[in-house]
Structure 1
Amino acid sequence: MPRRSHGGFGTRVCVAADGHGRALSCTLSPGQAYELPSAYALLDDLPYSPLYVVCDCGYASHNFREYL
């Protein structure tokens, strides 16, 4: 049986990594869920405040920029 990929039954892994690609924090969310709420949890779990944040356009919102 093929897996549903868009809005299906899978999960997403969101990861915050350092400049060397090492994972510092990660979250799991339902595949159909929006990714932005996970970003707040990822940043809160970091051991230090980041100097830079790089993410795709799905994280572009005024509230998220204010949070950063």
Structure 2
Amino acid sequence: MFGRMGMPELIVIMAIALIIFGPSKLPEIGRTFGKAIGEFKSHASKISEDVEVEVEEIKSSLEK
């Protein structure tokens, strides 16, 4: 969707964030963003595990 992002693009994004939110809010925003990504990964892995379990159950029921 966004293609590859290099160092210049990241610097521009950080500069814009610094201008918009200011230096005092950036650590809080970073923590919140990090927690959100962590929760997303956790939920995605849980869904993946659930799908794998369901697939195994379907395979075992078809073999009978």
**TM-score tier (shorter):** under 0.3
Task: Name the structure, 1 or 2, with higher relative contact order (CA <8 Å, separation 6+).
Answer: 1
Normalising by structure 1, report the TM-score.
0.25
Q: Select the structure of larger CA radius of gyration.
A: 2
Task: Kindly indicate which of the two structures has a greater share of residues assigned to helix.
Answer: 2
Normalising by structure 2, report the TM-score.
0.27
Task: Kindly indicate which of the two structures has a greater share of residues assigned to strand.
Answer: 1
